[in-house]
Structure 1
Amino acid sequence: MWDQRTHTELFGVVPARISYALPADADGYRASGPYRNDTVSATPVRLATGETLTVDAVVSNNGGEVGPYNATLTVDGRVVSSAAGELSPESERTVRLSHTFERAGEYTVGVGEETVTVVVEEPAEPTVSAVSVDREQFQVGQRATVTATVGNDAAVPANGTVAFTRDDESVTQRAVTLAPGNTTELSASVELPTAGTVRLGAGAADPVAVTVVEPTATDSPATSDGSGPGFTAGLAVVAALLALLARRR
């Protein structure tokens, strides 16, 4: 087999031969937008509505002359992104082509003669797997710190809110966004206005029961530090008795 130089000497210069291809591995597909900025698998590509897919298309020139290229990204046969330029002989270049998917559905995305399937879904709902509380007993009027472990087991990002509850009644919410396979912890401060056994929860996870008690006399600020109205009144009585004794003397 002769080389390109020998072929040129015998038959003349080979013209530019431009070809286009999809990325060879998953690093060539990236999802970005309101939920994440990360590479994604291409078997198939799974996105949430509102995300942008960026494809590292490969442009090759297998000819013997510099040639122009016009790489295009198609969605169901419609051109949605393009990149043009010139390419030296016997070389290749990576160009980035992007498209934002606003609607759910299944699409065929192509570069040149190659295609890949893209499945677009609405964002998943975040799920709460466990709930914990900072302690087991409180006094009336105190606040408990409730912590929820939140995850996303779906193949697309999760986006939503987690409701924190007191005796199955929602008292506050926290917004959360999670990439596929990720977990996080959310916390909320929940007031405890009445005595008794109170169930504190978040999402659909099992709630945690805590005990709320009325403050005892020793818990009162008026008696805990030797000050307050009772203490002041006692001092006044003692002072009056001392004055009366002094006059009698």
Structure 2
Amino acid sequence: MFEHRSALTVGLLTLLVGAGVVAGTAAAQSQVTLTVTVVDQDGDPLSGIDISATWDDGAGGPVNETTRANGQVLMDVPEGANVTLQIDDDEYVRNVPYVVEDAETESVEVAVSESATATVNALNADGQPAENARIRLYRDGNYVVDRNAGSDGTITTRPIEEGEYSVIVTKPGFYRNLTTVPVSGETTTSVRISEGSTLLQAAVVDDHFDDPRPIRDATIRVESNTGFDGTVPTLSDGTASVSVPVNDRYDVTVTKEGYETVERRVSVAEDEKSIDVEIRRTPEITLSPDNRQVVVDATVRLTVTDEYEEPVANATVTRNGTEVGQTDADGEITATVPTAGNVTFTATSGDLTTTTNVTAFEPGEEPTNGAATTPEQTETATETTDGSGPGFTVALTMAALLAVTALARRRL
């Protein structure tokens, strides 16, 4: 008996859970009905127009219907969805789909237009095809066509709405041409563009300082994918100007010895273009002793500075490979020189390393041009000469002077 009751309970639970799932699914997929009316340029309803509805960025649907004599269709779509309505007809078109946001049971009117095509020929000033020119048709806030022409400088549009369009033709190195063209049936039009140039000016400064300093004799190189290549140095105020073809994009490279290379990508239209470029010196550190010659066991003060000759704190300093400490806030450290000869000190800060040498000599030795002088060398340098050397000449000169003095006194 208990087993039968348990089975009955389980069955009821299963039914209840299943019913809940079904109810939840039904709620999640609640449908609303859109009443869609398709009309022409004059607002008259159109029959026989195929219309398709999709949602969830095209993942949902499609729902396909054809308008009746009154120009209407009924379309069931998910409640709250953003529904895209597209027209598929040989005679009538829309340049952009119609979107119903947050769909609910409602009526919408979708306007269409008779279809047409436009053939646009882009020409140079001499009437030759403007190869690879960019041709765009703009209307009602949208770029309806945006294509690059081929070697013949020509494009032909897909079916588009009849009406007036802004035709924009551009090409690197050429001035933009904006023309208004009425399009109906099969329209053909030609648009000429002409070459031109403008100035690209760069101002180069070292922004390490609170008041950035202009950099003179930096090299500015300007290149484009269309073949332009120009180089110019900066003046004393850090500026340089290059005449470049209009409506193009340029790679600007700034170099100077002792500074890091900076690269910029710049778009130039038809007016003068100015850019600011900040560069800084190439990171490096320098280790400087206060004395390059010391006696053994004496101390030497070492200073670590960066590329701007500013002190580097917490740099690690070693002596012949053995660490002696770290620099203080002033970039300084004091170390002994325990052995005679050349002693190598190395400073490291981050990825930067530098070395310097200090020469140590034993007490009693005198440094000469960086080398200790031996007692034997001192004795040789001070010994007197015999009668045949320079010392003999000096003695004779002194004797002669004394003799002349005595003779002069006798005469007086």
Q: Would you call these one fold, judging by a TM-score over 0.5? A: no
Q: Return the structure number with greater relative CO, CA threshold 8 A, min gap 6.
A: 1
User: What TM-score, normalized to structure 2?
Assistant: 0.22
User: What TM-score, normalized to structure 1?
Assistant: 0.33
Structure with larger Rg: 2
